[in-house]
Structure 1
């Protein structure tokens, strides 16, 4: 249970970080807005033509009498739309990260610099196009895995009672796991952590992952919430990645003796001015 709270705390800390860095937050909205328009168009199409698709896929029910045909196909139409919504939530992050990859990578580096004791951020050393290829390849693999889970949960949705109670809950935890994987990939890929290793790392701390990703997945169901929460989610996932790897992290709001490094808009760490010699220390 402690890890659940820690995961949720990283989610909140990420939102706080972008709130203190308005320029980063503003640029982070653009990829989410583009992705939102694309997904809304797809969901509207599914709502308009979903019933026709179900009727085409269930020709065996053509001769069923009323009200059974309507109830059966109506139920499948609702489940189909719910499945589409689940996949939209899971894949929204992947598509948004691909569209806004360069910015989100820069944002993640700024977070690393801000909370790292030495004011530095790990670098992958790979070219832009190589990083883009790896990100796209890994995102596709995650989408396929999420799709398999989606089909399985769709089938389990036909189980009486459990399909309407237990399965949706499992679905949100599955969504939270894959959301967290996509978001932490930004920071972990810079550290050279491959997909297989990332998945093993996340499975070793499931409670921490669920504490971060499940509330985020629920929030993403609120219209427009995903767009506004995305920059903070990337920032929070960077903090989560540091905990998963056991990296030392300091609070960006705390004062420390010696030089204090803050991330600025240029990404260059700058030392905080020190008090004149002989002046009393703060708080004394």
Structure 2
């Protein structure tokens, strides 16, 4: 039987958007946000260049008919759809890899703000830099968890009829991954292992899915997904404090 509160989980991202406006948290929201903006622009630009070259190559193969040559607008519409899907989760993965040390500290500051209690972590810039290898390893663990399951769902999606169910499974899985992705930051601050975090979130799966749902939806909206990442980190910290973080060992 699924436990937790789905509707309470839905509210944590909204709380995260409120928290990122707090003066004590803004700096560690702005720094990764600036990084993400440059990343987003660079990724979009180079993908556009590559796709433009691909369109030119395809159009060169087509007969010299005006109506065929006019199809380049259709390719650009398809490009926009592909970009939307690729940026939705690919951008989040890359942004989290780059910003993980900042997000860990943002989660710590958020928890301090919510509880008024100190967390036994060194909060100096030197400590943040020193934590980069561990933070990157943690992100790679999440990617390692995601990829084989995503591959299974991809294969299921190739099977006729069954692929109708696969679409729903894909969405639920992405909601679950968003909860794992961001609650992992406060969990890591408390040195909770990734397997232990998965087990604990599974015990309140409805709350986790409720939290992951709006994050997964907003991750698909260009520009908005730049802001949703730090908001999700703060919302996940609120999740940690109010759900079952205190029961994790």
Q: TM-score, normalised by structure 2?
A: 0.72
**Bigger relative contact order, structure 1 or 2 (CA pairs below 8 A, ≥6 apart):** 2
Q: How many residues were matched structurally?
A: 215
Q: Deviations 1:218-258 (Å, cap 9, x if unpaired)? A: 111111111022221110011112222138xxxxxxxxxxx
2:36 to 27, 32, 38: 32
Q: Deviations 1:65-110 (Å, cap 9, x if unpaired)? A: xxxxxxxxxxxxx9xx879936x54453343233223432332222
The 5 A counterparts of 1:242-253 are: 242=241, 243-246=243-246
SS at match of 2:21: helix
Quick one: structure 1 residues 90 and 181, their matched pair in 2 at CA, closer, same or farther if it must change by over 3 Å? farther
SS at match of 2:118: coil
Q: Choose between structure 1 and 2: higher helix proportion.
A: 2
Contact kept? 1:43, 1:85, Cα under 8 Å: no
Aligned to 1:69: none
* C-alpha separation in 2, matches of 1:231 and 1:159: 37
Aligned to 1:229: 228
Q: CA RMSD in A?
A: 3.2
Structure 1: stretches of 5+ with no match in the other structure: 53-77, 248-284
Q: Deviations 1:22-56 (Å, cap 9, x if unpaired)? A: 83443342132133235435755479759x9xxxx
Aligned to 1:143: 143
Instruction: Quote the offset at 1:129 in angstroms.
Output: 5.0
Aligned to 1:93: 92
1:177 and 2:181 correspond: no
Quick one: structure 1 residues 85 and 20, their matched pair in 2 at CA, closer, same or farther if it must change by over 3 Å? same
Which protein is bigger by CA-based radius of gyration? 1
Aligned to 1:122: 119
SS at match of 2:246: coil
Structure 2: stretches of 5+ with no match in the other structure: 58-77
Q: Deviations 1:142-167 (Å, cap 9, x if unpaired)? A: 2122221222222122222331x321
